[in-house]
Amino acid sequence: MWGESMKAAILQMEGTNCEEETYIALMESGFTPEYVHLNNLRKGKAKLDDYELIFIPGGFSAGDYVRAGAIFAARLKATVWKDLVKFVEEGKFIIGVCNGFQVLIELGLLPATDGISEAPEAALMPNDSGHFECRWVYLKSQSSKIFTDVPEMITLPVAHAEGKFYASESVIEKIEAQKQVIFRYTSPYGSTEYPWNPNGSVNDIAAIMNPYGNVIGMMPHPERAYFPYQHPDWTRNKRDTGDGYYIFRALAEALR
Amino acid sequence: MPCMLRVDILVKFKEGVDDPEGKSIKHALELLGFEKVKTVKVGKMYTIYLNCDKEEGYEIAESMVRKLLVNPVIHEYEIRVEEV
């Protein structure tokens, strides 16, 4: 079986969640996942170099204090920044989901339109609705380097208060020109008004990658929809897999 | 010997960036009868005590802003330094 030796690190700190769903989804996709706590990275008990994939899970790291993901990012910068940059430059993969996406933006690893940026180039701001949005959304796949084999429209759950993708016009133009958008919020009717776009993201952006396609950030949770029975309509709509499966399969294939 | 400094760092959204918290507070204030409210902007204030002189205090605060407290894409900030 392919991919058996692909080790994946699921980063943990105070307030991360969804690690168990992520662990199972990674294992099912052919990875050998391990939980890696930031403190163990700091103490040298774990090394990023040992892994092919880093998965930064969702949650409310450090209580979302300062801004969502800001403290997680600051701790990574203070401890393993050089290793993280090396990891990206070697072409290994990093994916951040929900809070993990916020961390990657704060780190400057995304959108990284001109390479890794010292200061954040974008922001995941408080939702326009002013409240936590916790429900299923429709996503339109954009043809992108890694996610070539994903159905045109999939559904995944979102659960966030700060998910509005925002950047200056020039950065947005670059993201679009470099085809860095992976998923946009949509609806069966084509409308992207609220509530279809749950947070007011510019250009309905739900997921992006860096120009090389090896750093990926998304607000929706693929690990919460890996199996068909995790979809709320699973008794009515027969699926072979959950829609989150396609994201994990794409990662495994990209690293194969 | 350096004296104690009180550094207040005020962080808020830039002009033109949506502030949903401000909007819902404005709405609530209007419901309470404050009809003259035009805009509400919400920010965060960090109060940090430092053991150093004023010049170094500003430098340290600027560095804190850059490394953690502000996302320059959406925020503007103000630093106030006072000897205490």
Predicted pLDDT of residue B2: 60
What number is the average pLDDT over the span A163-180? 97
Strands A93-97 and A53-56, bridge-based pairing: parallel
CA nearest neighbour of A15 among A65, A64, A61: A61
The answer to whether A255 touches A93, Cβ cutoff 8 Å, is yes
Assigned fold of A6-255: Rossmann fold (3.40.50)
What number is the average pLDDT over the span A207-220? 97
**A27 pLDDT more than 70:** yes
Name the closest residue on chain A to residue B44, using Cα atoms: A66
Q: Distance between CA atoms of A170 and A65, rounded to whole angstroms?
A: 29
Higher pLDDT, B2 or A160: A160
**B70 pLDDT more than 90:** yes
Q: Distance between CA atoms of A128 and A197, rounded to whole angstroms?
A: 10
Name the closest residue on chain A to residue B10, using Cα atoms: A66
Chain A residues with a Cβ under 8 Å from any Cβ in chain B: 66-67, 70-71, 74, 77, 106, 119-123, 125-130, 164, 166-168, 200
Q: Is A40 helix (H, G, I), strand (E, B) or coil?
A: helix
CA nearest neighbour of A73 among A117, A133, A35: A117
**A115 pLDDT more than 60:** yes
Mean pLDDT of chain A: 95
Predicted pLDDT of residue A4: 53
Q: What is the pLDDT of residues A29-42, one digit of tens each?
A: 999 999 999 999 99
What ipTM is given for this predicted complex?
A: 0.88
**Catalytic residue, candidates A19, A98, A121, A231:** A98
Domains and CATH numbers, chain B: 4-83 (3.30.1280.10)
> Does the annotation mark A90 as catalytic?
no
Percent of chain A at pLDDT > 70 equals 98
Q: Does B67 touch chain A (CB under 8 A)?
A: yes
> Does the annotation mark A18 as catalytic?
no
- Residues across chain A: 256
